Every structure is written in C-alpha cells, then in structure tokens.
Structure 1
C-alpha cells in the first residue's frame, strides 16, 4: 500500500452521489493529522475545494471544565471530550448539506478548543475527520462510527510514535522531562486503549504509506472527484 493508493480510495468515497465522511483513527502521535492534511491538500489541489478537514480535537472540554471535573491531569482521555457533541456534528455534516456547517477547531498553543472555527461549505463532497477515539464502542463514542463511511487506522511503530509525541509536547511548551513523563503516563494509557480498537477499522494504514510530518513533500496535481 502506498500514499497514492490512499488518495485513490479517498476519492472513491466521494463518488456515491452524497457527502461522504472518512475517519482516520490511531494513537497519539501516529500521524492522523498529518495524513488528513495531506489528503485534503492533494485531493483539493489548486481547484475549487471539495474536501474539508474537521478534527475531533475541537471537542476537547475546556481546561476550566476539566478542572471542575477533576480531569485536567488526564486531558486527552476519552472522558475529557464532548463525545456526544462530536457525534452530533458528524450527523449534521452528513445530513445538512445545503448550508455551511461550522465546526470547532483546536488551538495548539493555547491547548483550548475554539468554537465555530472551521466552515464546511455545501460544496464539500468529502469530509475527513481524525481523532483517537473514532472506533471506541463505549458511551457516547459508540455514536461516532455509524456516521462514518470508512475509518482508517494509522499504525506507526512505537519508537517513532513516541519520538514524535515527545517532540510535539516539547514544541508546545513542555520540558523534555515533562514531555516524556506525560507520554509514558497519560498518553500511553490512552494509546493502549486505542490500540484495542484497531480491528474495527476498515483499513489499517502501514507506516510506509504515511506521509512524514517533517517533510511537506512536493505539491501534487489535483485529484478531481
């Protein structure tokens, strides 16, 4: 499997005559966001955008609410997201195709969700969404999978996944020691839970097909829908 194979498969999802939703799951640092961003960029090319990117991270609960709930030290765990809100947005994206639907974004520097940051226009025939818990089948998370046409699972070797994750935490302000402690603790517990959902995916994407976050790559011609 190659990255070009993934482009072809994603394009095919948009040929059903209705808006399609593609989910990309995987553990923290596995390359979900990088893959989603590359797919959206390369499918859209320089033409009229017909693919939108809506990350799950916009449904993080705000730090003030996590603090109130006593969950701030476990930020990133399943119960630190508004899973029901995320599932409801996916349903809206599937059903409400005649007007702009606004989705929340996530500000990495602030580590906070931002309401109404991502417009999904009526012309979007494919929506790519990515996040840790798309395949989780407990609680409100069980409402997510039925809204998605396919879910792909990014499978990256543990040493590289951990290296990338530590580097990300350092980039956004943690010391090396703090980053390693968080990755080995909170992030690893979440990663173990996510790994157990792998077999529910429609496609497991091997590391060889994942674009590198360190290399933007050459611009590709548009892949028309």
Structure 2
C-alpha cells in the first residue's frame, strides 16, 4: 500500500488510531522528528493522587492542555522547544527529552488527537493534517498483549489489561475517525527494511 503524500509546506502531521495500530512504527518510518502524545502521560504518582492509576492510558490520564501548548510552540516555529517522551521501560514520562527543530515537518502521534472533548479539541486545533490509522483488530490486540508482556506483565495480566483498559480506549479513538483528514489502513503495510551497514 502507498501512504498519502505529504504537503511540502506541512508543519504538523498527526498520526492517530487505536492502541497497537502502529502509530510509533509509522512515525519512525517517515523519518521525521516525532513529538509523542505519550510524553504527556501523568506520572504514576499523579495518577495515584487522582485515583486514576488503574486507568492509565485513558484520555483523562494525560496532560492534554500541556500537550496543546507545546504543539502551539512547535507550529509557530519557536526555537529551542524540547518535548517530553515516554520511557516504556520505566512506564513513566521523561521531561525535556526530544529537541524539536524550528522548521520542517514534525510528526505528533497519539490516541486522542481527534477526540471531541474541549481539552482534546485544543490539541486538534494545532495539528494541520491528521491521519487516522487502522489495522485488523486481531493483529492489533496481539501486538498490544505482546507489548505489555515485553515490558513486564504476565501473558494473563497483559490480556486482562488489554480487555479492561486498551479496548475501551480503542473504541473511543475509532469513534472519532470521521474527524480525520485521511483514514489509512495499515493492515497490509510493512515498514521499509533497513539493511545493516
């Protein structure tokens, strides 16, 4: 499959889709700087304070306002912007981890770019073009379970987390697909191979 062409003067491209759809993989394959929404996860200490630790990954467990503010600076071409990232090994955000260039196209990827809620509409307002990504649901769920296992959950705990947390979030994300500029089916897409030097 061929990906949609990118406008030459595009500043912010958004990639969204359900958990496990391949947002980070596609973002990396595009070869552009990436600002991940996951960097705006609340830290576990804050999730515990808010009573949200068992819902980590749901829309209310992110600093959407901070995300929108940073994207505003990126879109304006402000120099010296540094974005947070999410460290999967720690399962925590890391502040000041990604230097963002002041010109050229930047990709931002995350589940909730199209969510029709005030705090997430502010995020969407900063992103010029949003691609909603789709992949076969069986493949997507298998990827999610494998990811959770890779980062320390037992297969049983991983499958339970996918059903209890990831799948309700996936339904929210897919319900917002109509707000995308383009829907891209990645079911038959594979990232380009890079031969070792």
Same-fold call, TM cutoff 0.5 = yes
**Which SS does the other structure have where 2:18 is aligned?**
coil
Alignment-derived partner of residue 120 in structure 1 = 100
Distance 1:217 1:199 in 2: 32
Q: CA RMSD in A?
A: 1.4
Residue 167 of structure 1 pairs with residue 146 of structure 2: yes
Distance 2:126 2:189 in 1: 24
Residue 20 of structure 1 pairs with residue 11 of structure 2: yes
How do 1:1-225 and structure 2 match up within 5 A? 1-2=1-2, 5-6=3-4, 9-10=5-6, 12=7, 15-16=8-9, 20-40=11-31, 51-97=32-78, 99-122=79-102, 124-208=103-187, 210-211=189-190, 217-218=193-194
Decide which structure has greater helix share. Answer: 1
Matched-pair contact (CA < 8 Å) for 2:136–2:187: no
Ranges in structure 2 where 5+ consecutive residues have no aligned partner: none
Q: TM-score, normalised by structure 1?
A: 0.83
**Which SS does the other structure have where 1:137 is aligned?**
coil
Deviation at 1:208, TM superposition (A): 4.3
Distance 1:203 1:111 in 2: 31
Ranges in structure 1 where 5+ consecutive residues have no aligned partner: 41-50, 220-225
Deviation at 1:207, TM superposition (A): 2.1
How big is each residue's C-alpha offset from its partner over 1:157-208, in whole Å with a ceiling of 9 and x where there is no partner? 1100000000000000000000000001111110111110011111111124
Number of residue pairs aligned between Structure 1 and Structure 2: 195
